[in-house]
Amino acid sequence: MSDQQALRAEMVNICRRMNSSGINQGTAGNLSVRLAKGFLITPSGLPCDTMTPQDIVEMDFDGTYVGRRPSSEWRFHRDILKARDDVDVVLHCHSIYATTLACHHRSIPSFHYMTGVAGGTDIRCAQYATFGTQALSDNALVALKDRKACLLGQHGQISLGKTMETALWLAIEVESLSRMYVQALTLGEPPVLSDEEMARVLEQMRRMSYGLGPEAEGSNDVPRPRTAR
């Protein structure tokens, strides 16, 4: 199996896990992965359950493609990958609680320290624009500045990663944080952690590579199991 075939198969697997995890449904949501030249992206209007590796679309950054018609959201996938050399995967879904907040144009503040997994003191909500448009892509890039995730006004969420696993992990975490925030709001606006505390949280996450993938044995002050004596 070639490297690209393996990527295509993994994309289908991740899409199905998006559905099984509850963050996606039906034909909503899409996924892209950087190639040496261009990127792979999921096709338009095809349910994850029936998608095959051959259905994945290869696109160039000039907007040309080979195969099926690409996701209607190809513009923000292209523009994010062009603008962000620190990420190789863009994942978009309409998870329920993140979309609930997005429908009210609410960003997620640092009500919980895990907000820091998106790279800053909050998870911003991008201004609304019609799906599939350049305006939506432009708004998403603004909301994602110095961040690895954002909400899209009256639409859904975007999560980024170096790998498909980390992007999926982050999308599920954004949905979990959204659910906690929605529930916390029923008791009133929750207190937020200070910028100073969030700076400590972000440094701790950076030092521990928190959420970025498996840690090397013995790294980042992680305790190691004792060898047999």
User: pLDDT at residue 218 above 50?
Assistant: no
What radius of gyration, in Å, describes the C-alpha atoms of the chain? Answer: 18
State the pTM of this model: 0.91
Mean pLDDT computed over 2-12: 94
Q: Which bin fits 92, alpha (ψ -120 to 50), beta or left (φ > 0)?
A: beta
CA dihedral defined by 39, 43, 44, 48, rounded to 10 degrees? -130
Is 66 in contact with 57 (CB distance < 8 Å)? yes
User: pLDDT at residue 83 above 90?
Assistant: yes
Mean pLDDT of the chain: 93
pLDDT at 103: 98
Domain 3-208 has CATH 3.40.50.300: no
The catalytic residue positions are: 73
In the DSSP assignment, the letter for residue 118 is G
Q: Could you report the per-residue pLDDT of 44-65, keeping only the tens digit for each? A: 999 998 999 999 999 999 999 9
Q: Could you report the per-residue pLDDT of 166-191, keeping only the tens digit for each? A: 999 999 999 999 999 999 999 999 99
Q: How far apart are CA 57 and CA 43, in angstroms?
A: 6
Q: Could you report the per-residue pLDDT of 90-147, keeping only the tens digit for each? A: 999 999 999 999 999 999 999 999 999 999 999 999 999 999 999 999 999 999 999 9
* Closest of 162, 161, 157 to residue 140, by C-alpha: 157
Q: What residue segments make up the domains of the chain, in order of their start?
A: 3-208
216: amino acid identity, one letter: A
